[in-house]
Structure 1
Amino acid sequence: MAVKFKKSRAQSMLDITPLIDIVFLLLIFFVVMTRFDEEDYKLDVVLPTASEAKPLISQPRELFINIDEQGNFFVRGEQYTIDEIDELLVQTAADNPESTIIIRADKDSKLEFSVQVMNACNKAKLSNYSISTASIEPTQ
């Protein structure tokens, strides 16, 4: 006597709704946790080149001071005078004496403006400052 077996195909359905929820939660997390420091780079400053330029590693307590070719000072997208820069650096030193000051001066600006910012850093007892340069692109 032959026994007949029914071949049944169980239809398996994969519910991807929880997966979509997790993807959206991760997306929201990364959008919220992203640093929005683009205002430091909004000013169109053409940096001078240096053969030994190294990329700056971002630190949490950096203050970018941008100087355009006319000698105007910008911090976080707002224009400052040198006296206001002095006050800002004193306040920055009071908040965190280990703050890093990065001076981004246009290559056509006078060196005098960068020196004014360095003097202001020294007055505020901030010794961790640097001038940002662009690296030279290798020619092929």
Structure 2
Amino acid sequence: MQLNIQAGKRRKPLSLTPLIDVVFILLLFFMLTSSFIKWHNLELAVSAPSQSTSQSNESPPLLVKLNAEGKLSVSGQTFAAHDDAPLQQLLVDNTDARVILFTADEANIQLIVSTLDRLKRLGAEGVSLNTDR
């Protein structure tokens, strides 16, 4: 009696070419969808308020208020979010004055940091952020 044993079907070897193609497509997708932002540092000077009362030779600080929409108000004068010329003229007129930034509770962190960077760019020397409420 003869047994008819058929050889099992031979499997084809697994090709890595489609897998490599998928990896390259994923790499291309993630490279194109990621953002390439130039990050830079913003230096903030943190100092404790001095207790001396002999500051009569210094000019009073320039109080700048930032609302939630990005508008700045200084001494009752309001500046639009991207109107730099009048704000720069005000900062040039008060070159020796410190600038203290007060923010609205609704202002987000990005708006505050952008405003600090804007004030430094326009020529304000001693910019500080008021953290007291």
Q: TM-score range by the shorter chain?
A: 0.3 to 0.5
Larger radius of gyration: 2
TM-score (ref. length: structure 2): 0.47
TM-score (ref. length: structure 1): 0.45
